[in-house]
Amino acid sequence: MPKGLVLGETWVLLAHLDAVPAKQAEDECAACGKWKRHHADHGCTDPTLLVQCQEYQVPKPTPGIFCAFVPSAVELLLKESDATPERREKELKRGVTVVTVPDDDRDHQGSVWDKGDEDSQPELPGMPS
């Protein structure tokens, strides 16, 4: 857990470099704002149109926050063999709730996408097997 995190009080913000879609239309140049057809590199032959920049630049998404929340609890999944009394006590002091799962529980071993085990592949509705 991050230092300074207070459950029920601290806001957590999730951000991504491409969170905000491009403001311009896809055919509009990000550099000059003119339409793609006004650029010399896209075959504009009309001399009355001013070429604002030499090369068309595709509009790009910008960084932004896409989710904000205040966590009310933190849970940690531990296999029975890892959930020792010492580990449980340590996590409890940090304010973390330990959830114990059986050591042989296949849902909590490795990845559901591991190759070689046909039963490990999740079945998605509407998708061919």
Domain ranges of the chain: 22-60, 73-129
Span 81-91, mean pLDDT? 93
φ and ψ of 3, to 5 deg: -65, 140
Task: Measure the CA–CA gap between 56 and 42, rounded to whole angstroms.
Answer: 8
The C-alpha atoms of residue 75 and residue 121 are separated, in whole angstroms, by: 25
Residue 53 tokens, joined: 């920049």
- Tokens 């990000």 map to which residue? 30
The mean pLDDT of 76-89, rounded to a whole number, is 92
Q: Answer with the residue of higher pLDDT: 104 or 114.
A: 104
In whole numbers, what is the pLDDT of the chain averaged over residues?
77
H-helix or E-strand containing 49?
A: none
Question: What distance in Å separates the CA atoms of residue 11 and residue 123, rounded to the nearest whole number?
Answer: 35
pLDDT at 104 over 70: yes
Residue 29 contacts residue 56 (beta carbons within 8 Å): yes
0.85 surpassed by pTM: no
Q: Are 20 and 64 in contact (CB under 8 A)?
A: yes
Contact 65, 19 (CB under 8 A): yes
DSSP 23: S
Q: What is the mean pLDDT of residues 78-91?
A: 92
- Integer-rounded Cα Rg, in Å, for the chain is 26
